[in-house]
A and B are shown apart, each in its own frame.
Chain A
Amino acid sequence: MKHLKFIVSVLIIFAFVGLQNVNAQRKDKNKEKKEQLVKEKANKAKDRVKEVEEDQSNQKGKMKEKKKEAKNGKDAQKGKKEVGEERMKEKKGNGKAYGKSKGDITGREFGRMRSDVAKKMIKEKEDKVRESDEVVKSGREKVQKAKDRLKEAKEKKTITNKEALEKEKKIKNAEEKLDELDKKVKMEKEKVVKEKGELEKVKFPKKN
């Protein structure tokens, strides 16, 4: 029994020492190596985001097919079962143990890389929104110029009625497309602000 007490004490000491060692090792990791790793992993994270998207679109396609099968008939119950299984798999699939450490990288670091990737994506979106805004502005000017030219051509009667109608149709089409784009740009501007806010709200637990 004396031995048991000794063993338990030693185990406790080792457990604490072990924990401290792990923490010390984490702190002592070379910063340059970490940066390199972070860059590599950031690229991998991008790829993974793409994979997740593809998976989701594939799964959506499969779900639709299964639902159609189920509706269509004979295998109605079987179809439902399969859909249910797919859903279960999807639910289980969501837990990909992102939070756990993977090799040299901790879950927290992995999350920060994902966050960086998302920030880059938002920045790219902001650029696209700005470009689209420019397209709307320059497009409006071009539409106005085209209208003026058409008006002049009509007055001088250098074009036939048929040609004039065709050109009016083109102008109208361009105006509609620009209106649509304008609407979308405004919507996306608001959305970008929201997305930025949401991303900033996401916080990782502090290190112990």
Chain B
Amino acid sequence: MKKTVIIVAALFVFLACADNKKAEEKKVEEAIQKIDSIAIDVKKSTEELDATAKEAKDAVEELENI
């Protein structure tokens, strides 16, 4: 009986540790995915802004001949 209790306890501790680690990994992964999606949005909008700014610059440059 004692031995069974020891084995079950050991197994329980082991599973708890493994579970905890998995949950932590999942949280970290979610956080990284969120960061990545923010980074992608930022890059995309920066490129769009750059393109619009370039168009405006070109249009303004044409006014120098006036």
Q: Which residues of A contact B (CB under 8 A)?
A: 1, 4-5, 8-9, 11-12, 15, 19, 49, 52-53, 56, 94-100, 107-108, 110-111, 114-115, 117-118, 121-122, 124-125, 128-129, 131-132, 135-136, 138-139, 142-143, 145-146, 149-150, 167, 170-171, 173-174, 176-178, 180-181, 184-185, 188, 191, 195, 198-199, 202-205, 208
Contacts and interface: CB of A to CB of B under 8 A. Distances in A.
A5 B33 contact: no
Main secondary structure of the interface of B (DSSP, over half): helix
Nearest to A107: B28
Interface string B13-33: 110010010001111111111
B6 A9 contact: yes
Interface of B: 2-3, 6-7, 10, 13-14, 17, 20, 24-36, 38-43, 45-46, 48-50, 52-53, 55-57, 59-60, 62-64, 66
A118 B33 contact: no
B17 A204 contact: no
Contacts of B13: 12, 15
A170 B66 contact: yes
25 contacts: A5-B2, A5-B6, A8-B3, A49-B40, A97-B25, A99-B24, A107-B32, A111-B31, A117-B39, A118-B39, A121-B43, A139-B56, A139-B59, A139-B60, A143-B60, A170-B59, A174-B60, A174-B62, A177-B60, A180-B56, A181-B52, A184-B48, A199-B35, A203-B31, A205-B27
B49 A132 contact: yes
Nearest to B7: A8
B6 to A, nearest CB: 5
Contact of A12 (B10, B38, B57): B10
Main secondary structure of the interface of A (DSSP, over half): helix
B8 to A, nearest CB: 10
Contacts of B52: 132, 177, 180-181, 184
Given A15-B13, A99-B26, A208-B20, 20 more contacts: A5-B6, A56-B40, A96-B29, A98-B28, A108-B28, A110-B32, A114-B32, A114-B36, A118-B35, A122-B42, A128-B49, A132-B53, A135-B56, A136-B56, A142-B63, A143-B60, A177-B56, A180-B52, A191-B45, A199-B35
